[in-house]
Amino acid sequence: MATSILLIEDDVETARLIVRALERPPAGVAVTPVWSAHAGLEHLAAHPVDCVLLDYRLPDTDGLTCLRTIRRQHPDVPVVFVTGAGSEEVAVEAMQLGARSYVTKHGQYLPRLLERLREALGARELEQAARGRPGPALAAPRPSWELRERYRLEGIVGQSAALAGVLAEAERAAASDEIVLLEGETGTGKDVLARAIHNQGARRPGPFVAQNCAALPESLLESELFGFVRGAFTGADRQHPGLFAQADGGTLFLDEISAACLPVQAKLLRVLEDGAVRPLGGERQRTVDVRVIAASNRDLRRAAREGTFRPDLYYRLERLRIRLPPLRERREDIALLAQHFLSELVPRTGTSLRGFDPQALRALEGYAWPGNIRELKSEVHRLAARADGRQRITLDLVSPWIVADGPFADADGDRPLKEIVHDVEVAVIHARLQEHGYQRTATARSLGLSRESLWAKMRQLGIRLRPRQDGNV
């Protein structure tokens, strides 16, 4: 079945060009052009489509108003927003309203439009594969499932409005050479975003050097950052240039900068102001050309008020400040991220897993993820290890604390409480059986049950041990 595209565009000549570009090989999609927002919404109500190309200027309303209606009535349909040259602010607003990507009409924009369409369909294909449904796909090349094509930022996976806002700020940061401060909870991907900003900017040919300030004692952090000469202190039997020198011409990423002690913070401020470092024990300064990206899981503004972080350094760092949202604020990205991590495992482990059952995804999407993306990645790795030759990850494989954290309260709507409790009990008992090698005695003990009570509960719920292990005790 051909991929179906709805084009909402009031200019007949522009529509003709877009239709001709998309319907010829290698794209080979079926495009339905309409000339107003009203006609587009009528078509969407009557016919399923795989993607909408939406122009900003329409005869009956503007594209943003139409986009709001599409997102409300057809939330699963990706929208690529098309604007005139000089309308980037409108495009960013469209992204915040839920558009998958945007294209501006200037120069040879049709190739860019085709790439954005591939990205939008690829993201939808990935999400539908995660949910066990076949999705559309353009012909080769294989679409990217990341937002790399939207913002030219590498390594980013997601489609939420919260993430789109972050990436719009990151794109602006990549276009400058200013210091960047990334703030967000542990595991939100600050290191990935820092590398993406470096790779998109003018310093991409230069080195990207990263250091977690919390990973070193205070005495070692100073010498690691600024370097030292031979004999500077006991054990300094060689010269070390330091990370600022190593990052010369590139980017230095200082993760968890709040862990740096106040004397080190003072030296950092001096380097940022003067562009020169003096190694420990050295007499001469060295000029360095380094762009600094700092990150913290603490509120540095509050730390500066409390006296645990230098206010002058904070004001120097906050010129470009980007807050990364926790995963609980971008739940619509969880399915994409889970499938992305699973897809990474396939070539490395040879697993036969291809996706997730709907109940398993609902459990993942309903969990709060205090460890954010890093915790989700670890859970996917655990799920793959537990799958034991299955093709799909099912609810019984999901870790019990995730299932028991209330995900079904919102996801199951009007389902009877009895059904919800049944699903949770089945998932928890399956998980504990796997954790204890299907040994009923050990499993019962972990659940606070007798062996006989567990066996009765398993019969009641219809849970069977794997045949080869029925004899285990």
Instruction: Report domain extents, the chain.
Output: 4-145, 164-323, 328-435
Q: What is the pTM of this model?
A: 0.58
Residue 197 identity? I
pLDDT value of position 227: 80
Distance (Å, rounded) from C-alpha 181 to C-alpha 187?
Answer: 16
Report, at the CATH architecture level, how domain 4-145 is classified: 3-Layer(aba) Sandwich (3.40)
C-beta atoms surrounding 108 within 10 Å: 7
The β-bridge relationship of strands 51-55 and 4-8 is parallel
Structure tokens at 116: 């954005």
pLDDT value of position 145: 34
pLDDT value of position 260: 92
CATH of domain 164-323: 3.40.50.300
DSSP code per residue over 36-96: SHHHHHHHHHHS--SEEEEESB-SSSBHHHHHHHHHHH-TTS-EEEEEETT-HHHHHHHHH
DSSP code per residue over 79-146: EEEEEETT-HHHHHHHHHHT-SEEEEESSS-HHHHHHHHHHHHHHHHHHHHHTT-----PSSSPPPSS
pLDDT value of position 435: 65
Distance (Å, rounded) from C-alpha 71 to C-alpha 164?
Answer: 15
pLDDT value of position 103: 84
| DSSP state, residue 228 | B
pLDDT value of position 152: 47
- CB neighbour list of residue 355: distance below 8 Å, 6 or more residues apart: 129, 130, 131, 132, 339, 342, 392, 393
pLDDT value of position 125: 55
- Whether the upstream peptide bond of residue 358 has omega within 30° of 0, thus cis, is no
Distance (Å, rounded) from C-alpha 361 to C-alpha 338?
Answer: 9
Local confidence pLDDT in tens for the 473 residues of the chain: 567 889 999 888 888 888 888 876 555 578 889 988 998 999 999 888 889 999 998 888 889 999 999 988 988 888 999 887 666 678 777 877 878 878 888 777 888 788 778 777 765 554 554 555 544 544 333 333 334 444 446 667 777 778 888 888 888 898 899 999 999 998 999 999 999 999 888 999 999 999 999 888 877 888 888 887 766 566 666 777 889 999 999 999 999 999 999 999 999 999 999 999 888 777 788 899 999 999 999 999 999 999 999 999 999 998 899 999 999 888 888 888 888 888 888 766 667 777 888 788 888 988 888 889 989 999 998 888 888 778 888 888 888 888 876 544 444 445 566 766 776 777 778 767 766 777 778 888 888 888 888 888 888 877 766 433 333 33
Distance (Å, rounded) from C-alpha 303 to C-alpha 370?
Answer: 22
pLDDT value of position 408: 47
CATH of domain 328-435: 1.10.8.60
pLDDT value of position 183: 94
Q: Are 357 and 393 in contact (CB under 8 A)?
A: yes
Measuring CA to CA, which residue among 431, 384, 378 is closest to residue 403? 431
pLDDT value of position 467: 36
Measuring CA to CA, which residue among 190, 186, 192, 214 is closest to residue 371? 186
4-145 and 328-435 share one fold: no
- CB neighbour list of residue 344: distance below 8 Å, 6 or more residues apart: none
pLDDT value of position 410: 46
C-beta atoms surrounding 120 within 10 Å: 28
